[in-house]
């Protein structure tokens, strides 16, 4: 028996490979099929089933392409309706992988079709559960993604309460819990950095599994939920209805464009230049009007949060040798309209006689001197981070909602922008700058460096102190 967790940090997502006696199943695969095909070849396994725990909202699954390439059957739980061939399982239905069995446990609440898959050995002993977004380590899935006119988040939360207590909690304590996500995902609000655990330990430590009433569970689960990123509903629709072939997307996006052709493409309606290098590389030199969202961060979730239309034509400025990675990671969240990348990067752009722009970046110490002189300071961290400690005269404007706000003033006032470490602040500055906001300054190292300054400690407050 072979059970492998294939974890992707950018999406905080876990896919799973299960095999026995030459047969295999994959649970919640990512968009790119290559790694799974390599595993199948390496293990000399035949892919029999692709199990989907639900219609994922935070990434595009690879189920459609993988089924076409292998002949495997796509399996969803009850209440699923797809635009492609799939098997909609009944609650309690059994599937065989060699001598192993996988049982469908319908666990609605996160979504109506959400299902948990119970893996048992040849003797029927329960081994582990693949819970999707029903149960995380330390948390459970948010109940606000499948709301209809006749169904509220409170209704879904109530369903989740029942699912956990009737389908999951009765299982033996030694069963291993394998969720679809860990810390960093927007599919829950308090997920652990651990990516698996025993069910017994979760019964002891997970707030959602303790002995509380349904009313209290609903109240706790629905309080403090941040609005879902705008791309969630669009990704769920792609997973339900199907999407463009992955190889076609990769071929289109991996087209090298010389500066003249790149510049010409920039003139087409709706085109966005997306720079995916490191923050300081972007600061030192970038193409006017481009947005920075770096690969070396939570790239895909930020793309999905900030770029409103999935079909936006994207031109890439990427580190040498990483343009294919960028196209792949864009496709994971449904951004399939990358139309090429800049050959030779910004250096080639400048060498061709074209201009670049820069962003002023300063140390935490330099920043604090200007702060004490009254310079405008914008903190783009999440409200929970801001509440945990911030400068008393800083304004909290979370990056998540930057498309809904812009800086005011006559353009002459210096505005200093910081986040926790320097990634989100550069994203924010790039977007604001593309809209004509000038005199923006990035604070290197962000809050991580600011809070270490001895002079700044008297200016630091928390939400409780401020109140």
DSSP labels for 41-76?
A: HHHT-EEEEEE-SS--SSS-BSHHHHHHHH-PEEEE
Q: Is residue 238 part of a domain?
A: no
Examine the domain organization and report whether 227 and 370 are in the same domain: no
- Residue carrying the six token digits 């048992």: 120
Question: Both 284 and 411 in a single domain?
Answer: no
Phi and psi at 365, nearest 5°, equal: -65, -45
CB atoms within 10 A of CB 29: 23
Q: Are 273 and 432 in contact (CB under 8 A)?
A: no
What is the reported pLDDT for 364? 97
Q: What residue has token string 């790119």?
A: 32
Q: What is the DSSP letter of 448?
A: H
- What values do phi and psi take at 449, rounded to 5? -90, -35
Other CB atoms within a 10 A radius of the CB of residue 197 amount to 19
Same domain as 182, residue 56: yes
Beta strand spans in 81-125 (E): 87-88, 94-97, 100-106, 115-120
pLDDT digits (tens, 9 = 90+) for 302-355: 999 999 999 999 999 999 999 999 999 999 999 999 999 999 999 999 999 999
What pLDDT score was predicted for residue 464?
Answer: 60
Which of 318, 351, 384 is the last residue before a domain boundary?
351
| pLDDT value at 111 more than 60 | yes
Residue 272 in domain = yes
Task: Write the pLDDT tens digit of every residue in 382-441.
Answer: 998 999 999 999 999 999 999 887 655 555 678 999 999 999 999 999 999 999 888 899
Q: What percent of the chain has pLDDT over 90?
A: 90
The answer as to whether 78 is a domain residue is yes
What percentage of the chain exceeds 70 in pLDDT?
97
Q: What is residue 110's predicted lDDT score, i.e. its pLDDT?
A: 96
The SS3 call for residue 176 is strand
Q: Report if residue 23 sits inside a domain.
A: yes
- 87/141 same-domain check: yes
Same domain, 338 and 368: no
Asked if 177 and 135 count as a contact pair (C-beta separation under 8 A), the reply is yes
* Backbone φ and ψ of 128, nearest 5°: -160, 160
Give yes or no: residues 262 and 188 share one domain.
no
Q: What is the DSSP letter of 194?
A: -
Are residue 115 and residue 259 in the same domain, yes or no? no
Longest dimension (CA), the chain: 74
Per DSSP, what are the bridge partners of residue 18?
Answer: 3, 25
| CA 35-41-45 angle, 5° bins | 110
Note whether 365 and 286 are same-domain residues. no
Using pLDDT thresholds of 50, 70 and 90, give the confidence band for residue 18: very high
pLDDT(229) > 50: yes
CATH number, position 455 = 3.40.250.10
Given this model, what pLDDT does residue 467 score? 36
In this structure, are 211 and 170 located in the same domain? yes
Asked if residue 251 and residue 196 are part of one domain, the reply reads: no
Q: How far is CA 202 from CA 170, 208, 209, 290, 303, in A?
A: 13, 9, 7, 45, 33
Does residue 426 sit within a domain?
yes
pLDDT digits (tens, 9 = 90+) for 79-98: 999 999 999 999 999 999 99
131 located within any domain: yes
Q: 107 lies in which domain range?
A: 2-233
Q: Which residues are registered as beta bridge partners of 197?
A: 177
441 dihedral zone (left: phi>0; alpha: psi -120 to 50; beta): beta
Q: Give the residue from 351, 374, 395 where a domain finishes.
A: 351
> Is 239 inside any structural domain?
no
Distances (CA, A) of 334 to 236, 284, 295, 317, 373: 10, 30, 16, 19, 45
CATH assignment at residue 19: 3.60.15.10
Instruction: Give me the number of domains the chain comprises.
Output: 3
337 and 249 belong to one structural domain: yes
Residue 229 lies in a domain: yes
Q: Which of 300, 334, 351 is the last residue of a domain?
A: 351
């Amino acid at each position: 028996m072979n059970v492998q967790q294939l974890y992707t940090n950018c999406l905080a997502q876990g896919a799973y490979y299960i095999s026995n006696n030459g047969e295999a199943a994959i649970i919640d695969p990512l968009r790119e099929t290559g790694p799974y095909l390599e595993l199948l070849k390496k293990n000399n396994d035949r892919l029999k089933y692709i199990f989907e725990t639900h219609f994922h909202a935070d990434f595009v699954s690879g189920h459609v392409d993988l089924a076409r390439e292998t002949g495997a059957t796509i399996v969803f739980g009850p209440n699923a309706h797809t635009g492609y061939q799939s098997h909609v399982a009944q609650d309690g239905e059994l599937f065989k992988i060699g001598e192993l069995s996988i049982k469908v446990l319908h666990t609605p609440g996160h979504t109506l079709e959400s299902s948990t898959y119970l893996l048992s050995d040849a003797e029927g002993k329960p081994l582990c559960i693949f819970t999707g977004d029903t149960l995380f380590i330390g948390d459970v899935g948010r109940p606000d993604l499948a709301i209809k006119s006749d169904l509220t988040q409170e209704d879904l939360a109530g369903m989740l309460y029942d699912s956990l207590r009737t389908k999951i909690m009765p299982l033996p304590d030694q069963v291993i819990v394998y969720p679809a996500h860990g810390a960093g995902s927007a599919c829950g609000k308090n997920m652990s950095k651990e990516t698996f655990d025993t069910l017994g330990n979760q019964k002891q430590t997970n707030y959602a599994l303790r002995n509380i009433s349904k009313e209290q569970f609903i109240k706790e689960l629905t309080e403090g939920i941040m609005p879902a990123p705008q791309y969630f509903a669009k990704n769920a629709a792609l997973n339900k209805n199907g999407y463009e072939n992955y190889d076609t997307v990769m071929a289109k996006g991996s087209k090298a464009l010389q500066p003249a052709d790149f510049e010409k493409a920039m003139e087409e309606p709706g085109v966005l230049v997306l720079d995916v290098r490191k923050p300081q590389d972007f600061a030192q030199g970038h193409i006017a009007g481009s947005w920075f969202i770096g690969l070396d961060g939570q790239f895909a979730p930020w793309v999905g949060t900030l770029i409103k239309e999935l079909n936006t034509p994207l031109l890439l400025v990427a580190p040498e040798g990483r343009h294919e990675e960028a196209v792949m990671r864009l496709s994971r969240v449904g951004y399939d309209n990358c139309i090429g990348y800049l050959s030779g990067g910004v250096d080639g752009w400048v060498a061709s006689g074209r201009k670049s722009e820069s962003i002023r970046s300063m140390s935490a110490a330099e920043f604090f001197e200007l702060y004490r002189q009254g310079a405008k300071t914008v903190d783009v961290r999440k409200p929970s981070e801001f509440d945990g400690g911030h400068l008393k005269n800083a304004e909290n404007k979370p990056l998540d909602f930057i498309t809904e706000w812009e800086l005011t003033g006559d353009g002459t006032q210096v505005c200093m922008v910081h986040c926790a470490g320097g990634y989100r602040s550069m994203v924010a500055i790039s977007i604001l700058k593309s809209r004509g906001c000038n005199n923006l300054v990035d604070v290197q190292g962000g809050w991580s460096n600011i809070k270490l300054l001895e002079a700044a400690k008297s200016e630091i407050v928390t939400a409780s102190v401020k109140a």
